[in-house]
Structure 1
Amino acid sequence: MSEKQALRVLLCIGVNQNFMDGTAEEMKEVWAAFVSMMQGIARLPGVRVLGNMDDDRIMVGPSVAFPWTTYVLADVPDYDTVAAACNLLRITPVGDGTYKLWKYMRIEARIGRELQFPA
């Protein structure tokens, strides 16, 4: 019997207009919450972050769909862990915790498998 393969997941994260309308202090608090969320993704059991890409130098303004602001490529053990990664936006507090990160950002997961081909 073959070993269960990890899911290859592309997390697509977009910043929304609430972030763009925020004060400089609010933006700093959102950034701190974003870093916490990214660390949380990497700490989920069985997750191996392969890399990330930030697109905000050539994509300016809020992203409600493609192109997204930033991407994370990771191997994830199962669907529930993908859902847990996405859920971090709902539960990660910003600043004093009045709002959660999903007020300022959105996340979408694309789930597939590693494409393997001969070298």
Structure 2
Amino acid sequence: MAEAKQIRTLLCIAVHQNFFDLPFDKIGSVWTGFATFMSSVAKMEGVTVLGTIDDDETMVGTSPTGFPWTCYMLCDFPDRDAVVAACNLFRTIQVGDENHRLWRYMRIEARMGRALQIPDL
């Protein structure tokens, strides 16, 4: 039986203005929520995190509505449902004591495809 192909996925993450509007002593809970997101994705069954990129040193402030994003995770997922579950974490991870969710402070978009094979010339 043929092994199922992984779905190569770039998780693109942007930080909203709501994050930057927080008092400095309140931003830690957002980072804790984001750390929970990254850890949860890495622990998902069948997921391999291939790499991450953080653009925070050369892009300060909110991301535009598209590219460039604030940070990225490149992962292999077992199927589309797993990608959807990873994105859904932004709806379920609680941030702070006011019952906010991660999506109040960040947004996510998944770009799915297949691994591009480099030809052996």
- Shared fold per TM-score greater than 0.5: yes
Instruction: Give the equivalent residue in structure 2 for 1:46.
Output: 46
**1:17-65: CA deviation from partner (whole Å, max 9, x where unpaired):** 0001011122111001100111011111110000100001111111132
1:79 CA drift (Å):
0.3
Code of the residue aligned with 2:11 in structure 1: it is L
In structure 1, stretches of 5+ residues that fail to align are none
Equivalent residue pairs, number? 119
Q: SS of 1:3's equivalent?
A: coil
**Aligned structure 1 segments of 4 or more residues deviating by more than 2 angstroms:** none
Instruction: Give the equivalent residue in structure 1 for 2:88.
Output: 87
Code of the residue aligned with 1:41 in structure 2: it is V
In structure 2, stretches of 5+ residues that fail to align are none
> Structure 1 length as normaliser, TM-score?
0.95
- In structure 1, C-alpha distance between the alignment counterparts of 2:118 and 2:95, rounded to whole Å: 43
Correspondence 1:22-61 to 2 at 5 A? 22-61=22-61
Q: Identical aligned pairs, as a percentage?
A: 53
Instruction: Give the equivalent residue in structure 2 for 1:107.
Output: 108
101-110 or 37-46, which moves further after superposition?
37-46
Instruction: Give the equivalent residue in structure 1 for 2:78.
Output: 77
1:98 CA drift (Å):
1.2
Code of the residue aligned with 1:70 in structure 2: it is C
CA RMSD of aligned residues (A): 1.1
- In structure 1, C-alpha distance between the alignment counterparts of 2:98 and 2:86, rounded to whole Å: 19
